[in-house]
Chains A and B, each alone.
Chain A
Amino acid sequence: MAYIPHTDEDRRTMLATIGLERMDDLYDAIPPDVRFPDLNLPDPISEMEIIGELRALSEANLEVQHVSCFLGAGAYNHFIPSVVDHTIRRNEFYTAYTPYQPEISQGTLQAIYEYQSLVCNLTGMEVSNASHYDGATALAEAVILALSQHRGKRGKVVLSPAIHPQFRQVVRTYTQGMGLTLVGDESLDNGVEELAGMLDKDTALVAVQYPDFFGRIEDFSKLGEAAQEAGALLCVVVNPLALGLLKPPSDFGADVVVGEGQPLGIPLSYGGPYLGIFTTRKKYVRKMAGRLVGETVDSRGQRGYVLTLTPREQHIRREKATSNICTNQGLMALATTVYLSVMGKHGLPKVAELCYHKAHYAAEQIAALEDYSLWHDGPFFHEFVVNCPRPVTEINDRLIDYDILGGYDLGQDYPSLENRMLIAVTEVNSKEEIDDLISALKEITHD
């Protein structure tokens, strides 16, 4: 699309229309002495010098290429095959937007259609939208779907305390002023049974995480039954990579499955852009926010792709829409699509298995250390909680000296979990790295 700026003649006409002579007259209301203040800026430098300066700044950062990373807590360091970056950088794809005249971009629509199909396969659900901003907003949209499904007649949402703290915060921000009652996450003691006990005729949704924020794997079948009995919807927040190994949440009777798609081919990049996975059952599709790409045939009988339900929100339902968030993470969804197709149905379980086994090796080794122990003893995926002999921040500060990025300090979100570290291990962590972590922890404890 051509960008055509205004000509001098255009400007003169516009100024004449509003009765002004010069562009500067528009700024008359601003006192002249603050209109052009002296800015304290350094002198201009050459491109070569700027690159040198920016490189020095970037090298001052600590990043996962130069340290061993055991930090996870929602964003994970995985290997990304170079074909992912190569594909998303193609000129035809390299935009964050679904085009405004979508049907003309059949390639983009086909990519989104493939994304939806892959994500449905992974979660076991019937429908996936074209994605949301991130896992947290996807969970918030699940809450909105459940409220809408109950036509605003149920005002209670039960959240597990083992859902990512930031996800729960986003749900609170998203729903403020709606008069909802959000319960369940006030105490870490609220497990599946306690959450099931909170379900009643006013509950629209109960949400849990799988594996949970602490890495634990639980069976939510009973909770699914309890939700169904109470007429509430069950939402499961997933790490999609773990689904390469675990049974899909559709087996628990989940009505909505959401998750952070970052582990599937998206780099850490300081927290974003990430990918909000949102899947549900066909019967809720009319309440689902976002875009949905469908396959059809054109007037000549050839296969084609169309935006199936989007117009409802932007052009038809307008103020009556369930949610007005139509934006998706097109480019990140494409990255995930390429990642999943490259890994394939054998590669993905293999990555998940590697994560699982390496994490279990690390957990065993740490538990064998004199002053450390595991906080929980049930099954876990690639993340686990360690009881530490010293404050986590102190340990992490010392680990940096060993070129190790330590785990997440749980005390900052859960006061009762002071001195507890959440450690993530993925396929990129070698045995040597894990052994180095163990010996570093041993040394740190005794100084």
Chain B
Amino acid sequence: MEFPTDLMYTDNDEWIRVEGDIGTTGITDYAQDQLSDIVYLEIATAVGERLEKGETLAEVESVKAAAYVYMPVAGIITEVNEELADTPEMVNSSPFDEAWMVKFEIIDPAELEDLLDATAYEKHCQEREH
């Protein structure tokens, strides 16, 4: 199980990579492992849309369950990973790289302070195991 230290996390298993004022997000290795084989993915937003923190940005469905992916912080969508709809299994094989879902302009950097670092997120995952 990977918990890259250069990312920040939500307790709902999204990760966010911050580069300047642009954020990139997807779901974590732990999340894809819990869901198992992902068979369907739909990005529920489009370039130019403004989403608030906690709004749905995508829906994933595995052979076991369906889950929503939420915005870790508020942002204006600048890019959408169109490829994922055709290759949802990339979420299983490369959750932190190839399976990024959207990129967005971060509206309020202060919101980043509420997110978890890798250590805190790993602890959060371990707690749920029990």
Contact = CB atoms under 8 A, between A and B. Distances in A.
Interface of A: 151, 286, 312, 316-318, 320
B66 A320 contact: yes
3 shortest A-B CB distances, which residue pairs? Answer: A317-B66, A320-B66, A151-B44
A320 B61 CA distance: 10
Contacts of B62: 316
B65 A316 contact: yes
Contact of B40 (A151, A286, A318): A286
Contacts of B44: 151
A286 B64 CA distance: 16
Interface of B: 40, 42, 44, 59, 61-66, 68
A318 B42 contact: no
Contacts of B68: 320
Nearest to A318: B66
B33 to A, nearest CB: 17
A149 to B, nearest CB: 10
A312 B64 CA distance: 9
Nearest to A312: B61
B98 to A, nearest CB: 22
Given A151-B44, A286-B40, A286-B42, A320 B59 contact: yes
A312 B61 CA distance: 9
Contacts of A312: 61, 66
A151 B64 CA distance: 23
B125 to A, nearest CB: 23
Contacts of A318: 66
A312 B59 CA distance: 13
A316 B42 contact: no
A104 to B, nearest CB: 21
17 contacts: A151-B44, A286-B40, A286-B42, A312-B61, A312-B66, A316-B61, A316-B62, A316-B63, A316-B64, A316-B65, A316-B66, A317-B61, A317-B66, A318-B66, A320-B59, A320-B66, A320-B68
Main secondary structure of the interface of A (DSSP, over half): helix
A286 B44 CA distance: 14
B50 to A, nearest CB: 13
Nearest to B42: A286
Nearest to A286: B40
B91 to A, nearest CB: 16
Contacts of A316: 61-66
A151 B42 CA distance: 11
A316 B65 CA distance: 5
A315 to B, nearest CB: 9
Contacts of B64: 316
A316 B35 CA distance: 11
B17 to A, nearest CB: 26
B108 to A, nearest CB: 24
A416 B129 CA distance: 67
A308 to B, nearest CB: 11
B60 to A, nearest CB: 11
Nearest to A287: B42
A71 B59 CA distance: 48
A427 B113 CA distance: 75
Contacts of B61: 312, 316-317
A318 B64 CA distance: 11
A318 B66 CA distance: 8
Contacts of A317: 61, 66
A139 B68 CA distance: 28
Best-surrounded residue of A316, A317, A318 (most CB of chain B within 10 A): A316
Contacts of A286: 40, 42
A320 B44 CA distance: 14
A441 B42 CA distance: 60
Which of B42, B64, B65, B66 counts the most A-chain CB atoms under 10 A from its CB?
A: B66
Contacts of B42: 286
B70 to A, nearest CB: 14
Nearest to B62: A316
A316 B62 CA distance: 8
A316 B60 CA distance: 11
Contacts of A320: 59, 66, 68
A312 B65 CA distance: 8
A142 B112 CA distance: 41
A148 to B, nearest CB: 10
Contacts of A151: 44
Contacts of B66: 312, 316-318, 320
A312 B42 CA distance: 15
